[in-house]
């Protein structure tokens, strides 16, 4: 449950160093639909940014729905003065997903939002027994790698399919802790490191400008 204090809404702490805020916490039932028009959605996004007592944080990560809808524009506008480090864009290898992601990349460029890079999710399946890799979703048009080359954006990494990822999400557990030996864990850690390096360089560059 979300608690309110004099300093605002308190995030729900999953771990000591990980606080979360979600519209799901404010619903009377987890099965409730959120049937809101743009202004009401925008109002809640503003509240999450302004009225939540985040305290001292290293990173604020905003998970948005797919596409280029109201939510994305609102977040970019509300955080415009804060100099957002950038967007991490997630795709899967199929062309139907890449079509949406190309639009997202163009959206970021139009609103002057830096793109940290692209992650290809569900990128092949590595059999836990024989270690052979199968392409469950074949990259018929070259996948994220080809798209990144064509659009001149960084490919941060590829996360292979692992059923344990879904199980960990369903249980609310850290996949990195539950499956430390999985190839997906190694891929996640490499992606995290690349994002951290990007942010560190970005902040160092800003300090030099100031």
Percent of the chain having pLDDT more than 70? 97
Residue 209 pLDDT: 47
Average pLDDT value for residue range 72-86: 87
**Which tokens is 2 given?**
């979300």
The rounded mean pLDDT for the chain is 88
Question: Which has the higher per-residue pLDDT, 168 or 30?
Answer: 168
Region 84-208: CATH code: 3.40.50.300
Residue 134 pLDDT: 85
Average pLDDT value for residue range 53-67: 88
> Is pLDDT at 79 greater than 50 in this prediction?
yes
Question: Which has the higher per-residue pLDDT, 11 or 129?
Answer: 11
The region, left, alpha or beta by phi > 0 then psi within -120 to 50, assigned to residue 132 is: beta
**Which tokens is 157 given?**
């990494």
Average pLDDT value for residue range 119-128: 87
The β-bridge partners of 3 are 10
> Is pLDDT at 169 greater than 70 in this prediction?
yes
Q: What's the pTM value of the predicted model, to 2 decimals? A: 0.87
> Is pLDDT at 210 greater than 60 in this prediction?
no
> Is pLDDT at 164 greater than 60 in this prediction?
yes
Return the residue matching tokens 């990259």. 139
Per-residue pLDDT tens digits for 62-77: 998 887 778 888 889 8
Any idea which of 40-49, 73-82, 153-162, 196-205 has the lowest mean pLDDT? 196-205
Q: In sequence order, what DSSP letters do the residues of 18-65 get, joined into one string?
A: EEE--GGGGSSSTT------HHHHHHHHHHHHHTB---S-S-------
The full set of domain ranges for the chain reads 84-208
Residue 207 pLDDT: 56
Q: Which residues of 164-194 are buried (b: 16+ CB within 10 A; e: fewer)?
A: ebeebeeeeeebeeebeebbbbebbeebeeb
> Is pLDDT at 92 greater than 50 in this prediction?
yes
């Amino acid at each position: 449950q979300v608690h309110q204090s004099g300093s605002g809404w308190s995030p729900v702490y999953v771990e000591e160093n990980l606080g979360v805020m979600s519209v799901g916490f404010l619903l009377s039932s987890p099965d409730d639909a959120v049937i809101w028009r743009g202004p009401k959605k925008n109002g809640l996004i503003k509240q999450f940014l302004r009225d939540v007592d985040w305290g001292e944080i290293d990173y604020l990560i905003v998970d948005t729905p797919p596409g280029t809808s109201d939510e994305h524009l609102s977040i970019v506008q509300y955080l415009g003065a804060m100099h957002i480090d950038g967007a991490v864009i997630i795709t899967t290898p199929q062309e139907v997903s890449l079509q949406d992601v190309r639009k997202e990349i163009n959206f970021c460029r139009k609103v002057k939002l830096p793109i940290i890079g692209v992650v290809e999710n569900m990128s092949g399946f590595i059999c836990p027994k024989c270690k052979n890799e199968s392409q469950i979703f074949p990259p018929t048009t070259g996948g994220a790698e080809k798209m990144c080359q064509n659009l001149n954006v960084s490919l941060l990494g590829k996360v292979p399919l692992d059923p344990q990822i879904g199980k960990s999400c369903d249980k609310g557990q850290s996949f990195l802790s539950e499956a430390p030996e999985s190839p997906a864990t190694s891929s996640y850690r490499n992606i995290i490191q690349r994002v951290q390096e990007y942010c560190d360089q970005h902040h160092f560059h800003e300090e030099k400008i100031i």
